[in-house]
Amino acid sequence: MSSPERADVIVIGSGFGGAIAAYHLAAGGAKVVVLERGPWVKTDEFEHDFLLGSSYTRVFDFVVGDGMSLLGGNCVGGGSVVYFATMPRAPRFVFERKGSIGRRMWPAAIDRDSLEPWYDRVAEALPVRRQGWDVVTYSGGVFAAACDHAGRTANPAPTAIDNDLCTNCNWMMSGCRFDAKRSLLLNYLPAAVAHGAQIRPLHEVQYLSRTDDGGYQVHYNVIDEEDYRVTAGSGTLEAKIVVMAAGAGATPVILQRSEPHLGEMPHAVGRYFSGNGERLNTAVLNEDKVAEVLGLSRPDGPAYGASQIGKGPCVASWDNLDGSLPEYDRFSLEQLYFPPGLGTILAQTPTADGRTWFGPEKKEMLRRWQSWLTIFTMSEDDNEGVFGPPPATGNSVRISQQMLGRGNLGYVPTANTLHGWEISDAEAKRVMEKDGLATVLPWTNDLVGAYTVHPLASCRIGDDPGTSALDDRHELRGHPGVFVTDGSAVPGALTVNPALTIAALAERSIPGIVRALRDRGVDVGYGAPAPDGDTAARDAVLPLVRDLVRE
First to last CA, the chain: 40
Q: What is the pLDDT of residue 309?
A: 58
> At 23, which CATH number?
3.50.50.60
Cα–Cα distance for residue pair 114/2, rounded to 1 Å? 48
Q: What is the pLDDT of residue 306?
A: 59
| Whether 97 contacts 33, CB under 8 Å | no
pLDDT at 425: 94
Please give the pLDDT value at position 538: 73
Task: Answer whether residue 219 is part of any domain.
Answer: yes
Q: How far is CA 147 from CA 29, 140, 317, 354, in A?
A: 51, 11, 8, 30
Query: Residue 264: pLDDT above 50?
Result: yes
Peptide bond into 127 cis (omega under 30): yes
| Average pLDDT along the chain | 91
In a domain, 535, yes or no: no
Beta-strand pair 216-223/231-244: antiparallel
Q: Rounded to whole angstroms, how far apart are CA atoms 173 and 185?
A: 15
- Taking the C-alpha atoms of residue 60 and residue 74, their distance in angstroms, rounded to an integer, is 5
pLDDT at position 551 over 50: no
Cα–Cα distance, 256 to 126 (Å, whole number): 33
Stretch among 24-38, 349-363, 468-482, 495-509 having the lowest mean pLDDT: 349-363
Residue 172: the pLDDT is 82
pLDDT recorded at residue 342:
55
Q: By residue range, what is the domain housing residue 443? A: 5-527
Report which of residues 490 and 313 the model is more confident about.
490
11 lies in a domain?
A: yes
171-226: pLDDT as tens digits: 888 899 999 999 999 999 999 999 999 999 999 999 999 999 999 999 999 999 99
Contact predicate 118/508, CB 8 Å: yes
pLDDT value at 4 more than 90: no
Q: What is the CA radius of gyration of the chain?
A: 22
Supply the pLDDT for residue 432.
Answer: 96
448 in a structural domain: yes
User: For residue 353, is pLDDT > 60?
Assistant: no
The answer to whether the beta carbons of residues 503 and 122 sit under 8 Å apart is yes
Residue 545 lies in a domain: no
Residue 365 confidence (pLDDT) above 80: no
Residues 470-522: tens digit of each pLDDT? 999 999 999 999 999 999 999 999 999 999 999 999 999 999 999 999 999 99
* Over residues 70-91, mean pLDDT: 95
| pLDDT of 382 higher than 70 | yes
Does some domain include residue 538? no
Q: What is the pLDDT of residues 399-458, one digit of tens each?
A: 999 989 999 999 999 999 999 999 999 999 999 999 999 988 877 776 667 889 999 999
The reply to whether 91 falls in a domain is yes
d(CA 527, CA 548): 13
Distance in angstroms (rounded) separating the CA atoms of residues 215 and 7: 10
Residue that wins the pLDDT comparison between 154 and 299:
154
Q: How many domains does the chain have?
A: 1
Whether the pLDDT of residue 550 is over 60: the answer is no
Residue 363 reports pLDDT greater than 80: no
Share of the chain above pLDDT 90, in %: 73
User: Rounded to an integer, what distance in angstroms lies between the CA atom of residue 32 and that of residue 524?
Assistant: 11
pLDDT at 57: 87
Query: Is residue 551 a part of any domain in this protein?
Result: no
More confident residue, 337 or 462: 462
DSSP 235: E
Pick from 36-40, 103-107, 355-359, 459-463: least confident? 355-359
